[in-house]
A and B are shown apart, each in its own frame.
Chain A
């Protein structure tokens, strides 16, 4: 049944630091690369080299401009993917049981063999985390790289989601958000990690960290002392005389 598990023992998820994300799109590429060959059908592209290319992606990076009232505008890069919500609306709407949330680690997955491609789960998700694969007609979504994180054939440092592994600035963190002692939980506590669209009542597992306050330069220039040039010798005498006339 596509009822939600009452409580999962661990809740694996991501913590995304908007302060350090530089918007390089490496996580988008790494995600697409890994999920082309791993869990389920590959992420297809339509007309990839033509005039109207499109394709399935599980992770997209947006860019927003923030214009504070009293400071310079700021660009915030914003990766968007499945938040593996505790009250995932995409799971309960599924008529076939293809969409489910795992009891053992809270990952929201799609059993593609049972998916009829009705698209109702994508409608139910406020975050646009699900995309229907146009070739296979089944719903694709972030698997939290379930085929990497438990994969004992991989070296230990690779047992994390592809997006986290590839991020060159360390803006993405992976871990157990139910364990208050875990590194990600500590990070969320220290930086005030928050939920996206809390008013939608989805209780996301993934947390976002806001950009830190930037240093502001003093009003006076650092070069001010150097700009006060005192002439000496003849030029100094001339300066004094001309100043008195």
Chain B
């Protein structure tokens, strides 16, 4: 699949933002102007991510229509989750900032919505059976692990960060391991795609078109798969190992200053790979994956 910058920025930043907002609303206890800045960062990450997703649309002026199909569409549910979370947490943020003393229940409600939103983002991809690497429960869980780790690091919570990073590392490895055999397990081949499987050795004789097309550009992205092992190592080190060491070894408040930028870079590398490595079954028709 084409690793479009808009969707990479969207999933990474909004995941981290909603993870952070969920923690701010529950376990964290800032007040006054400090609270304002912390909430600002959370809202900014989530909103920049959501805004980036609009750049992926052919007709963003009609984006409001995406709220109509929540009963069947995960993208619609994701949109509702995002907006409801940001609305539900606004009074909590104001209460922290201006000392209004809102009961904690409101925070937990908003945090729950944030978790649902991150899971819905993962389901956008996990629901697609035609991309076997994505069609697995590890995808939403991995997105949730990213949200938890990013949120804990931003909040500077030492022990929760270390734990969340361990879980994230494990999920990332599991997602890669499960994903590597997914295409073969799905059972789609040029033989099933054309129904000519049992007749002998089957190969592409001529392409359907010599020029490029939307399909080739969007779903048959074959560039950059050569460097998969290097990119995986990079993603794992930057998003998990180095932030883990930084949070473990650096004193007090300095940990997050080092860990957060590294984790973010690693998350971008992981997400680029998430798209670039995912193979769509339509590639079979072109003899490319």
Contacts and interface: CB of A to CB of B under 8 A. Distances in A.
A74 B1 CA distance: 32
A174 interface: no
Contact of B195 (A71, A98, A114, A196): A196
Contacts of B202: 64-67
Given A64-B205, A96-B69, A137-B57, A116 B62 contact: yes
Contacts of A175: none
Contact of A76 (B63, B194, B286): B194
Interface string A93-130: 11111100000000000000011111110111111100
B69 A95 contact: yes
B59 A116 contact: yes
A1 interface: yes
Contact of B69 (A94, A119, A134): A94
Interface residues of B, number: 58
A118 B57 contact: yes
B227 interface: no
B212 interface: yes
Interface string B49-63: 000000011111011
8 contacts: A64-B196, A66-B199, A67-B202, A76-B196, A116-B65, A122-B215, A126-B188, A201-B129
Contacts of B206: 62-63
B105 interface: no
Given A3-B71, A66-B199, A68-B200, A116 B58 contact: yes
B199 A124 contact: no
Interface residues of A, number: 67
B194 A92 contact: no
B57 A117 contact: yes
B229 interface: no
B65 A80 contact: no
Interface of B: 1, 56-60, 62-63, 65-69, 71-76, 79, 124, 127-131, 186-188, 190, 192-196, 199-209, 211-215, 218-219, 280-282, 285-286
Contacts of A197: 188, 192-193, 281
A42 B218 CA distance: 21
Contact of A131 (B66, B186, B203, B214): B214
Interface stretch (A53-61, A142-150, A182-190, A220-228): A53-61
Contacts of B211: 52-55
A64 B194 contact: yes
B203 A127 contact: no
Contact of B66 (A62, A66, A68, A116): A116
Contacts of B207: 62
Interface of B is mostly: mixed
Nearest to B198: A210
Contact of A128 (B188, B195, B215): B215
A172 B203 CA distance: 23
Contacts of A82: none
Contacts of A133: 58
B214 A122 contact: yes
B223 to A, nearest CB: 16
Nearest to B130: A126
Contacts of B67: 95
A67 B201 contact: yes
A142 to B, nearest CB: 14
Nearest to A195: B195
Nearest to A126: B130
B58 to A, nearest CB: 2
Nearest to B68: A97
Contacts of B219: 122-123, 128
A125 B72 contact: no
B285 A62 contact: yes
A171 to B, nearest CB: 15
